[in-house]
Amino acid sequence: MSDNLIGGKGLTVIIVDDGNSPEQAVKVANSLVLTGQVLAVIGHTFSEITMEVAPIYEKNKLVLISPTASASKLSNSNDFFFRMIPSDATMTQAMASYLINQSTDEQQKVALFDNPNDIYSESLKNQFMVSFSAGGGKIVKDMNDSFDLSRTSFNASAAIDRADKQKATAIVLLPDISTLAKAIEVIKANWQLNLPIITGENLYSNYTLKFGAQEAEKNVVVATPWHSLNSPDPDFPLQAKNIWGGTVSWRTAFAYDTARTLITALRTLPERKELNRIALQQILASENFSSEGATGEITFLPSGDRLESRIIFTKVVKSSCSPLGYTFVPLDYPVGQFSLLECD
């Protein structure tokens, strides 16, 4: 057991629930910063909430590392914020490049669906527009807010008709959590028109497999920052499966790496120094710091963003061994192995 100690001490984990609510998250943050033994916080899940509480942690010099908050506005937000997931700029640049590389002689014109009232969704949209336009692509005009997923009167079929009339060559779906159902409606409404659809990590979920897999299998590409079949650490998916009894998602991998990174940083602290919040921040921010995890090597830029990033493009395929009958696999996964997925 002594080999697992950090500076002669064990690691205590406090689990709190922010309820995915900004108000509750602020209460949680104000409580944690006053708990002297807390050296770092892993969280929060959503970008909107993370942006709300990050200044509280910075003011109290408490490190905050988010596994999943990707909004670009969080870059350079403060010295005590770090994140494991690639930023929206990285994700959307990869998505834009993918679409542009798929085009032939025809200019790529996309219909872009998002929720303009959500920080995460709007961040993805803005970053995608920059990258896609720079690559020569064109965004079709959203007449009458037809592509606004937040509208109570949103009509997926009418939106697809609008995209078709404006000669869109592809659809970009950038929903937040609250508009996932409408994003699935768009996928279903596109069944006959069959435009290529590309979307981000929010639709990499069991929700998609449960409610829209049959349609998604036809023409949807889902970008994700990690996949178990393409893991830099091939042992992690196997170990995780033994523990949890099933395949884990990118969210689990990034949460694991966040905890592992903090442990590495704490172990890096010289024995003569006291374990404290400021010392931990200085180690994480050091250009000499690095850690290894399920998602590869981990180092941080001065912005708090991760230096290394990988975007995996996946598709939905049938899998007789999946409880939902479908699963996600990398685009280049061998067709002959589909039937073997999760059957070991």
Q: Return the structure tokens found at 45.
A: 């899940």
- Contacts of residue 191, defined as CB under 8 A and 6 or more positions apart, other chains included, come to 215, 218
CB atoms within 10 A of CB 285: 17
Global pTM value: 0.92
Contacts of residue 154, defined as CB under 8 A and 6 or more positions apart, other chains included, come to 148, 182, 185
- 2, pLDDT greater than 70: no
Domain at 2-86+233-298, CATH class:
alpha beta
pLDDT cut 70: percent of the chain above it? 94
Q: Is the pLDDT of residue 122 over 90?
A: yes
- For the stretch 185-239, pLDDT in tens is 999 999 999 999 999 999 999 999 999 999 999 999 999 999 999 999 999 999 9
pLDDT of residue 261: 97
Please write the tens of the pLDDT for every residue from 272-316: 567 799 999 999 999 999 999 999 999 999 999 999 899 999 999
Residue 270: pLDDT band by 50, 70, 90 thresholds? Answer: low
Residue 339 clears pLDDT 60, i.e. is over it: no
Task: Answer yes or no: is pLDDT of 178 > 60.
Answer: yes
Domain-by-domain residue ranges, the chain? 2-86+233-298, 89-224+312-340
> Count of alpha carbons within 13 Å of 332, Cβ hemisphere only?
3
Identical topology for domains 2-86+233-298 and 89-224+312-340:
yes
| Rounded Cα distance, 148 and 51, in Å | 23
Instruction: Return the percentage of the chain with pLDDT > 90, whole number.
Output: 82
Residue with tokens 């997923």: 149
Q: Is the dihedral of CA 312, 134, 46, 269 positive or negative?
A: positive
CATH of domain 89-224+312-340: 3.40.50.2300
- State the pLDDT at residue 1: 42
Mean pLDDT of the region 162-173: 96
Ranking 69-78, 89-98, 99-108 by mean pLDDT, the lowest is: 99-108
